[in-house]
Amino acid sequence: MSSKILKYCILFIAIFLWLQAYSPLIYKSTGLFPDDYRYGDLYRLSYLPDFKEKATKCPTLKKDIAKQNVHLFIIGDSFTEAERVSQNDFDVTNYSYIHWAKQADIQLDTNKKNILILETVERTFKEHFSQKAENFKTERTISKGVQPQKSWKQTLRDNSTEWLKYIFPKGIEERLEHTLFNYDFFLKFRELKATLNHHVFGRIEHKVVLSKNEKSLFYFEEADSTNEYSAFYPISQEEIDRFVLNINETRNAYLKAGFDEVYLSVIPNKISILSPDLGNYNRLIERIQSDKRVQTPIIDTYADFRKSPDKIYLKSDTHWSCAGRDIWLEKVNKILKKPTE
């Protein structure tokens, strides 16, 4: 009888572990597993103890304020996700955020000033503006056409491998690994191994790279000059021309759809501010922001970040610190108060 109970217990544990690895929602909602990003995304990759820093939530920039009659929309990336930026940080009555990877149908309130910010980290700028951005679909731009229905045979053919995504969703192996070995007790062993590899064998995790003085840590893809996401990957003038065209077309399309203004904000890569000497920096941000053909108003943080580089980014993470975030928020709130021209 005891062996049968043991078998069922093992089966239950195995099913539970698979379920939480299968679903990020289950993984986060149970409260049984430590957050694998609690010490930063760069520490999570490297396990170098010198870059272990507990993540903290930044205080709300604005508390008791008279809200502007503004509806702020942001198409953004991880820098403006909910855990880093919220409506309480802006002088607005309404706030809508969508990630670059998603789309949403919206209806603009003509009684409000509707402002759109295109926020992108430098690393993914080229991906986002290789074409005109169309993440928000306003009521005027939603297609009224009826799409023809596919036959069940065509649907089956088009989705013949779709079921694999449900059985083996993206990130399942990674979540399972972090479920089993992400407690602080196990992190000590990972740190010991990383320290030994670094100081004895001169090696670190291949997904990260150290600055020349070894005081800063970066994503390797930001430093690898052969990677198109890198700050050191060559960018031709022809590419710049295409980016400028798509930025302007995006702005014009959203103005036509009913927005009062559209702004562009390119957040510099951590490596671009702290270690541009690790390669031949392509100066993407400067080339875009100084291009007189760009009709879209710029929210410039590059110049401000360079003035106090050591304070702008988290030590253990690729994202900005509270100081860097507040510089950006102050600039955004300043433009929200400007009268529409």
Residue 110, in any domain of the structure: yes
Strands 68-76, 92-99: pairing kind: parallel
pLDDT digits 0-9 by tens, 203-222: 999 999 999 999 999 999 99
CATH code, 114: 3.40.50
Residue 115, in any domain of the structure: yes
d(CA 319, CA 314): 6
Residue 128 has pLDDT above 80, yes or no: yes
| 169-188: average pLDDT | 66
Residue 233, in any domain of the structure: yes
Torsion angles phi and psi, residue 99, rounded to 5: -75, 155
- Model confidence band, residue 331 (pLDDT cutoffs 50, 70, 90): very high
- Model confidence band, residue 196 (pLDDT cutoffs 50, 70, 90): very high
Residue 148, in any domain of the structure: no
Identify residue 143 by its one-letter amino acid code. S
Task: Provide the number of structural domains found in the chain.
Answer: 1
Residue 268, in any domain of the structure: yes
Q: What is the b/e burial string over 189-216, where b = at least 16 CB atoms within 10 angstroms of the residue's CB?
A: ebbeebeebbeeeeebbeebbbbeeeeb
How many other CB atoms are found less than 10 A from the CB of residue 217? 28
Q: With a threshold of 0.85, does the pTM exceed it?
A: no
Residue 260, in any domain of the structure: yes
- Model confidence band, residue 145 (pLDDT cutoffs 50, 70, 90): very low
Helix H, strand E, coil C: the string for 31-52 is CCCCCCCCCCHHHHHHCCHHHC
Residue 234, in any domain of the structure: yes
Strands 136-138, 104-106: pairing kind: parallel
The reported pLDDT for the residue numbered 25 is 56
Residue with tokens 């510089």: 327
Boundaries of domain holding 238: 68-140+225-336
Residue 23, in any domain of the structure: no
- Model confidence band, residue 10 (pLDDT cutoffs 50, 70, 90): confident
Q: Exposure of 334 by Cβ count < 10 A (0-12 exposed, 13-18 middle, 19+ buried)?
A: exposed
Task: Output the six-digit token pair for 241.
Answer: 């021309």
